[in-house]
Amino acid sequence: MLRSRAWATAWATLRLLAAIAGVAAIIGQLVRTLSISASNSWPLGLTAVDFFSFFTILSNVGAAVALTIGAILIWRGDRVDPAWFATLLAAVSTYMLITGIVYNALLRNIPLPQGSTVPWSNEILHVWAPLFILLDVLFGPLRRRLPWRALWTIIAFPIVWVIYTLVRGPLVTDFRTGNPWWYPYPFLNPNIQPWGYGGVALYVVGIAAGILLLAAGVIWVCRRRGADAAEAGSAAQ
């Protein structure tokens, strides 16, 4: 059933609906964040940069783009994902899964300023979108068998993001609190970690190991479920 055209067409619709929900959640939270800044006369440009510096937001943007492309590929009649898209989808899947795990394990119970978070948006971005991505990994059609070397492509973005975050953090003043730093997540803030950058390093290493493990798992599933172009062509005949 998972290789039938009817299943693929139905899943394409689900992908598009999930992408729309993700975009709506991002916009809903962005509007709330910008409106809070506007009401406090805080800089809107810097507010937007901070907003799109969150790994959650970047992952969900990537997921919305990838799911939309994936739906289009199905609707245009592709038999197997192109290599570039298979790698993109595996990467985005890894990022969304780590987003869901880290949020629910480390961040869910951290208090935020009253009214700063849109509840329905927060749940979509951190719970329902990662869950749909997990289902997509397990049941999504057109999967291409990925080589293990794709693992290094997948981990490139998180490495760049961590470097960007740690370099930018001490250079930016948090206009909300007046602190001479800004970090998107408390576990990356050396100013509040008991061991400073040592504590941050422990979190980074732990999360990096989690990303590697999840990426390997996604690739393993793709290799088990997927096909290459030649096999897809033969199956279609």
Place of tokens 């062509």: 233
Q: In degrees rounded to 5, what are phi and psi of residue 117?
A: -110, 135
Q: Is residue 130 over pLDDT 80?
A: yes
**Residues 16-26: tens digit of each pLDDT:** 999 999 999 99
Instruction: Print the domain residue range for 136.
Output: 5-236
Closest listed residue to residue 87, CA positions, set 232, 196, 218: 218
Report the DSSP beta bridge partners of residue 227: 144
Q: In degrees rounded to 5, what are phi and psi of residue 81?
A: -60, 140
Signed CA dihedral, 35, 97, 172, 182: sign only? positive
**Residues 80-92: tens digit of each pLDDT:** 999 999 999 999 9
Mean pLDDT of 176-189: 94
Under a CB-based contact definition with an 8 Å cutoff, are residues 73 and 9 in contact? no
Question: Encoding tokens for residue 208?
Answer: 């990096």
pTM score > 0.95 for this model?
A: no
**Residues 35-93: tens digit of each pLDDT:** 999 999 999 999 999 999 999 999 999 999 999 999 999 999 988 999 999 999 999 99
Please give the tally of structural domains in the chain: 1
